[in-house]
A and B are shown apart, each in its own frame.
Chain A
Amino acid sequence: MGNSLVIGQYVPGQSLIHRMDPRTKMIMITIFVVIVFFANNFYNYGLLVVFAFLSMFLSGVPLRFVLKGLTPIWFIIILTFTLHVFITKDGTELFQVFGLTVYSGGVIQGTFISIRFFLLIFVTSLLTLTTTPIEITDAIESMLHPLKKIKFPVHELALMMSISLRFIPTLMQETDKISKAQAARGVDFKTGPIKHRVKAIVPLLIPLFVSAFKRAEELAMAMEARGYRGGEGRTKLRELTFSRLDVITFLFFFIVVGAVIYLRQF
């Protein structure tokens, strides 16, 4: 189940990227996402691609594995590329296919947009591949902390997030288990007319809902039994701390950002 979907899957490791503070990673990725839209020529796109692959290399996550995981997104990349190639009418005329003229501007534009797409997905999945969901929620809670002043329920939000993330694998297992049990009773999820396959979802969904509600109730009870009463005065097992590693990566990252903006004029 979900073997091919990499987003949200964590690969354990001890690399530089794994050891960085999750807040550093999140801030860097936010800036990266913005900076990708600043790139406008082959130089700064090239730099960003090199940066992305360098980070992937440092993380120790096998490249083949990440690329395989991106398969669902290839379709979108190819679609946008094709659309750009045929629709943009800038630059010189290159050749004609199916009665449509392809211009050089279209090819360049298509390539850029595809790289942009690729980079965004590549780098964000790098975050989830090297950061546990718990670290991510901790980072969000810590970064949203100032909002507490305006009575924003930061702790509750973070808790909700970590609980839902925590239960994704459980629900996946449950789905797997129930779909197998129903397959053993003759349900066919994979072949047959679409109408039958949609109908086949019912015996899967109802047991899933039942068990999700049961689980939620049990969890609430267990939390109360252990004295949970909100974030007030609650201490943390894992304290987030910025280290020298974070400072160095930040510096390096800002050099890259500066270079991307500088290269815009070429």
Chain B
Amino acid sequence: MDITFKNVSYTYQPKSPFEHQALNDISFNIPSGKFVAIIGHTGSGKSTLLQHLNGLLMPTEGSVEIGAYTLAKEDKPKDMKELRSKVGVVFQYPEHQLFEETIAKDIAFGPENFNVSEEEIDARTKDVITKVGLDESFLERSPFDLSGGQMRRVAIAGVLAIKPEVLVLDEPTAGLDPRGQKEIMDMFAELHEEEQLTTVLVTHSMEDALTYADYIIILNEGSLYMEGTSREVFSNAEALRKVNLDVPEIVQFIHAFEQKFSTSIPFENQSLQELAQIIKQRMEGEEV
């Protein structure tokens, strides 16, 4: 599903002493099937923006279009549930939303609300629990007996079981160990390919944005600061530094290398191995 923001602004508690404008005239377009990263500091409006994607918040000005649904102040879809069955959101620390006696029941909670048939739910439950890296033996256990990382996986499975077309991830790896982080992010990347999802990833990590995203949107103090492919965005290190964001280490390294050896290595999101290969060639070439 295509996602389009048209001049969206959002104000919390308007007309009170606590009035706060979280989003300011934001417009962008995410074509169907893309993997987009939204980056910004705490308080830049990332989480507010994300809640517009499934109608948890309505823009105070402007409109949001998600596939055939339009969200605007005066134009709300009649059936929000339908939209929410198509946009799955993994919130920050999703393990806090677990509540059922067994993991199977918790995973089934979403699909049940969207009136999915029982056999279908059963099949989905078994499917998603393996997808998140656990196995079927977990299904009858209580979610509260698990470790933090496992709880996170179960909560994610609960969102995947809805079979959304758009997957929204709000810092899904916060607080996990590095290995868990990589596993979870790789799983999302795989799902994105397999199910042809449109994925929106909200993150602090430049490395994750570089590795996984096709397109990057940078927010600063509620406004759209930059947007473009990872190459476009990260080649403008100066602008990023202005809003206290760093370029990924790998890009930093290439820049430093280029300067030191006055050569140019076109950055095309190469893997570490490929890059090492290129550098090796260059060095050997120069020595000859």
Chain A: interface secondary structure? helix
Q: Across the interface, do A186 and B113 meet the contact criterion of CB distance under 8 Å?
A: yes
Interface size on A, residues (CB 8 A): 24
Is A188 at the interface (CB under 8 A from chain B)?
yes
For the complex, give the distance between the alpha carbons of A202 and B109 in Å.
Answer: 12
Known: A180-B51, A180-B56, A207-B98. Is A185-B158 also a contact (CB below 8 A)?
yes
For the complex, give the distance between the alpha carbons of A62 and B18 in Å.
Answer: 12
Is B273 at the interface (CB under 8 A from chain A)?
no
Please indicate which of the listed interface residues A183, A184, A202, A211 has the most CB atoms of chain B within 10 Å of its own CB: A184
Known: A11-B17, A65-B16, A65-B17. Is A188-B97 also a contact (CB below 8 A)?
no
Interface size on B, residues (CB 8 A): 27
For the complex, give the distance between the alpha carbons of A184 and B159 in Å.
Answer: 9
For the complex, give the distance between the alpha carbons of A107 and B91 in Å.
Answer: 55
For the complex, give the distance between the alpha carbons of A202 and B106 in Å.
Answer: 12
Q: Across the interface, do A185 and B16 meet the contact criterion of CB distance under 8 Å?
A: no
Is B172 at the interface (CB under 8 A from chain A)?
no
User: Which of B82-90, B117-125, B221-229, B234-242 contacts its partner?
Assistant: B82-90
Digitize B43-60: 1 where CB-to-A-CB distance is under 8 Å, 0 elsewhere: 000000001001010000
For the complex, give the distance between the alpha carbons of A3 and B81 in Å.
Answer: 25
A residues sitting closer than 8 Å to B (CB atoms) are 3, 11, 61-62, 65, 68, 174, 177-178, 180-188, 202-203, 206-207, 210-211
Q: List 30 A-B contacts (CB under 8 A).
A: A3-B13, A61-B17, A177-B96, A178-B96, A180-B51, A180-B56, A180-B91, A181-B97, A182-B97, A184-B56, A184-B87, A184-B88, A184-B89, A185-B110, A185-B113, A185-B158, A185-B162, A186-B81, A186-B112, A186-B114, A187-B113, A188-B81, A188-B113, A202-B99, A203-B99, A206-B99, A207-B96, A207-B98, A210-B144, A211-B96
